[in-house]
A and B are shown apart, each in its own frame.
Chain A
Amino acid sequence: MPMLYHKSLTLQNDLHAIPTLTEFVTAACEIAGFDDDMIMKMNLAIEEAVVNVINYAYPEGITGNVEVTITVDQKDFIVVVSDSGIPFDPTQKEDADITLPAEKRPIGGLGIFLVRQLMDVVSYERRDDQNILTLRKGLPQQNQ
């Protein structure tokens, strides 16, 4: 399957990296032929996955990296988010209960839920002391 796009970005575990991530993701989405609605959704899913690493992968005060690689082939938009932090499989996290009333809704827990909702496939593996989270979204039909 010929690749249309393949690029990596390495960020520090710092929320100030988010605008750089947004630029990187938006550029890849444009190559993939996504419309504004889908660009927003891909940015959201990828931001949530990366923020999860920024906030939880490394101990407080320790600088670490998170690498984001986006590949676009004829069929899919594939995002790999990897880090060398503590082992954590977000796919094992229970889904947020979105039917609860406001008083009972926990304040967090929506990040991974959104990743799952927005992507077609989310998979995790621990390899070479790295957390590797792969997100996959099918391209719009007319591009294929």
Chain B
Amino acid sequence: MLVSNLEFLPGRTVVRHLGLVQGSSVRSKHVGRDIAASLKNFFGGELRGYTELLSDSRDEATERMLAQAQSLGANAVLNVRYSTSSIAAGAAEIFVYGTAVELAD
């Protein structure tokens, strides 16, 4: 499955347009991590625990989007966009969406 945030692929033609596909994931970290992060907040710097959390969450959302695209019979998802929002204290939603298409080989 080809995933790209470009709108078209040079040299490849889109045979079928299958509509919007999307995937999302809401995750939060356990309290221990939050406490560790709040300590880090005094001295500044990267919060590795949160970086990993959001990155894993993004992978999961992408997988869900790809599963949806696969079930539609697509072989590529174009014009992919990510969006993140913090929806409650300690939880973030990651949303991925794109256009599922079928490309000619």
Indicate, yes or no, whether A interacts with B.
no
Contact surface of B with A, Cβ cutoff 8 Å: none
